[in-house]
Amino acid sequence: MILTEQQIKAMTKGAARIEVENGSYRFLRFTEAEQATYANHPRKPNFYVPTFHTAGVRWAFRTDSNVLEFDISNDIATNQDKATFDVYEDGALRRTVTVEFKYITAGHVRIPLTEGEKLVEIYFPYHARMTVANVALADGAAFAPVSRKYKMLAYGDSITHGSTTSHPSLSYATRVAAMLNADVVNKGIGGEHFYPALICDKTPEDPDWITVAYGSNDWKHCTPEEFDENCTGVLQGLTKLYPTVPIFVISPTWRSDANIETPFGAPANEIHAQICKNAEAFPNVTVIRGWNLVPHNGEFFADNRLHPNDLGFGIYAANLYRELIPHLIEKIGYSFQ
């Protein structure tokens, strides 16, 4: 049973838009206007390519089918040789499926599913640009798309993008969204700073809350004056687009080289105070101290320095959840049901 365009769009979460051409689908986490800003990024033009990556994209539906199949193609070079999909049934990670793009540019994915009705969630690779086609379940199978109660929008750098997880479902943004019963659009780009030009367009559906997690790259490359201008510009843009939506700015997490000399002129942990100062003018902005969200130990980092590994991301998500909950209850009447 080939799923219709309407069914595919209904089960797709984490995409700001979906392009459909000749029966093929591309899931994009940035709007056209946002992608245009990256096509002309003054610092790194190659930031444009990751805007096509499917970080945070997820299919969610109930079915009694015993199989899910689709065709896949990758039409642009990537710094990764493989694309991994995580397959969940009723909230449990059942299997992973890996496509080796090092050897092929197109292929067919067949995912066995258990018998009986269940919730199926397919987490897309965080780093691959791809199209899918001929999405199918067993003939006559039941199908019902599933949405979570809340919507979350996440801006950030490589840590938000999830670029050091072994599984796309294990990044902090994906984990904390699941814990909070929220569908998330992930706008993380590895290496990114506070970039005011990006804040030029709204997502199709207003989020219930927004997280913003830049600062580590800014500390490495920007002067205090540049940082103030860029951080304030992002907050101004977001509060203009979303004047009543709670915005949570997560200051940088621990890094082992926090005391090296950089243009910012102070250790990395001191950038938190500067973010707090910049945020004072915006009533719907709350700053969360990121420094203690992940243990200060290289064992929790994929590179022993900066980027969390799967365990580090799990601790990050749990601690961020604990920080967010009281604010969400107060600001939007958040309910666990």
Of 53, 84, 83, the residue nearest 189 (C-alpha): 53
Rounded to a whole number of angstroms, the CA Rg of the chain reads: 20
164 within 8 A of 218, measured Cβ to Cβ: no
> What are the C-alpha distances in Å from 250 to residues 4, 159, 270?
39, 11, 13
Q: What is the pTM of this model?
A: 0.95
Cα separation, 26 vs 49, whole angstroms: 14
Q: Which residues make Cβ contacts (< 8 Å) with residue 236, sequence separation at least 6?
A: 196, 282
308 within 8 A of 159, measured Cβ to Cβ: yes
* The total number of residues written for the chain in this structure: 337
168 within 8 A of 130, measured Cβ to Cβ: no
- Kindly list the structural domains of the chain, giving each domain's residue range(s) and its CATH number in brackets, ordered by start: 5-145 (2.60.120.260), 150-332 (3.40.50.1110)
Helix (H, G, I), strand (E, B) or coil at 299: helix
**What tens-digit pLDDT sequence spans the chain (337 residues)?**
999 999 999 999 999 999 999 999 999 999 999 999 999 888 777 899 899 999 999 999 999 999 999 999 886 545 556 788 999 999 999 999 988 876 667 889 999 999 999 999 999 999 888 899 999 999 999 999 999 999 999 999 999 999 899 999 999 999 999 999 999 999 999 999 999 999 999 998 899 999 999 999 999 999 999 999 999 999 999 999 999 999 999 999 999 999 999 999 999 999 999 999 999 999 999 999 999 999 999 999 999 999 999 999 999 999 999 999 999 999 999 998 7
Q: Is the dihedral of CA 185, 50, 227, 264 positive or negative?
A: positive
199 within 8 A of 234, measured Cβ to Cβ: yes
For the record, the structure tokens of 24 come out as 């093929």
Residue 4 carries which DSSP code? P
